Copies of this chain bind each other. A is one copy, B any other.
Amino acid sequence: MLDSFGLEVLRRDECVALLSAVNVGRVVYTRRGLPAVQPVRFVLRDEDVLCGAPAGSALFAAADGNVVAFEADIFAPDLASGWYVTVLGRAAELRNGSVAAALPDLSWRPRTDDRFLRIPIEVVTGRRLG
């Protein structure tokens, strides 16, 4: 199915499969009333996006407990093909210690106070080009 702009609309399972194949995305949130965005390393676990966030970061402070968007994409260099997927969900700190202990390093620079944010895939939309 094509949307009104001529892009292929992806199903939820297609979006989830695409997200599981990449390792970087962007958390989109609101900071002091303004749009904000932070690239993050992430993994998918049981249809939750799990990403790293230093405890003292603006991302962690603003996202924990709030609805955020999460986006990932891949485009060919010539932009003739590619896809993008956007998730909406209420972010929360991942407090399950056994799940956290099994995660790979997800910070840009590992620190002892690193935390994880969990973004459940409550709403997901995706488009494919080419």
Contacts and interface: CB of A to CB of B under 8 A. Distances in A.
Interface of A: 4-7, 23-24, 26, 28-30, 34-37, 39, 41, 54, 56-57, 67-69, 71, 73, 75, 79, 84, 86, 88, 107-109, 111, 127, 129
A106 to B, nearest CB: 10
Copies of this polypeptide in the complex: 2
Contact of A108 (B35, B36, B129): B129
Given A4-B56, A6-B109, A108-B5, A36 B41 contact: no
Given A6-B111, A36-B69, 13 more contacts: A5-B57, A5-B107, A5-B109, A5-B111, A6-B109, A28-B35, A28-B36, A30-B35, A34-B67, A34-B88, A37-B71, A39-B71, A108-B127
**Interface of chain A: mostly helix, strand, loop or mixed:** strand
